Amino acid sequence: MKRGSILTECIAILAIAAALGTAVNVLRTDKEQRIPFFGKYTDVFTPKAAPSAPPAPAAATVASRQPPVAASQPPVTIHPPPAATTLGVKPADPPPAPPPPVKAEPAGPVREVQLDEILALHKEEDTPFFDARRTRNYDQGHIPLSQPMSVWEQEALDEKISNLVNELPLDVTIVIYCGGGDCNDSHMLADRLVAAGYKDLRIFKGGFTEWVKKGLPVEKDGQIVEGPVQVPDPGEEKK
């Protein structure tokens, strides 16, 4: 056999072997067992190393196990809860404040009073009564225990008031009367006594006329008069 024919046969055998190997390599189902035609070849005969275990977590420090410290917070203001209200009902308005008490004005030194108060004062017997009419009318009849002090007798009036200031304190209650009605003599006498310093003067508004009409006792010449008493017209007292 010739050398050339042997070489040709060897090459043909190698080519057939390479084609068969290539076909077998391509037809392999496991990709890891395929032999790549180019690149770095893995040593398939050396067993693969077992995968290394993941590193253990670092031991937690004592500080990491401590609970987190809350940041400082501003003080919390607690507001009272709102007043309870009924749903849909408007709360009632607070009641208005009561008006301030009215300060009573002090009574003046002169007051007009009615018969009932005059009778109460007359029963005390130590309350002075003064008749402001003319002396002649006083002599015809007057309220028991009253004294004449006519405003129409100027000189006698000045002397009587001067003596009165020396005898009676200025804070004593004094009753003054005249004929009543349109008679103004009691008010004129009250003005004189106020000027003298007296502070509590009661004027009997009905005067001697009302006293007689009520059937009350009348004094004349130091005695209590029985029967009706003639009362002079208050208008005649000015004559």
Q: What is the mean pLDDT of each run of 10 residues along the chain (239 residues)?
A: 73 83 70 60 56 55 50 62 57 71 64 96 93 95 96 94 95 96 94 96 96 94 78 58
The answer to whether 189 and 149 are in contact (CB under 8 A) is yes
Q: Is residue 66 part of a domain?
A: no
pLDDT value for 12: 83
pLDDT value for 71: 53
Domain count across the chain: 2
| Same-domain status, 141 and 233 | yes
Q: How many CA atoms lie within 13 A of 178 on its CB side?
A: 25
Q: Which helix (H) or strand (E) holds 154?
A: helix 154-167
Task: State how far the Cα of 170 lies from the Cα of 181, in Å rounded to an integer.
Answer: 28
pLDDT value for 113: 96
In terms of Cα–Cα distance, which of 163, 155, 188, 190 is closest to 174? Answer: 190
In terms of Cα–Cα distance, which of 238, 239, 216, 235 is closest to 141? Answer: 216
Q: Is residue 232 part of a domain?
A: yes
Residues of the domain holding 20: 3-33
Q: Is residue 44 part of a domain?
A: no
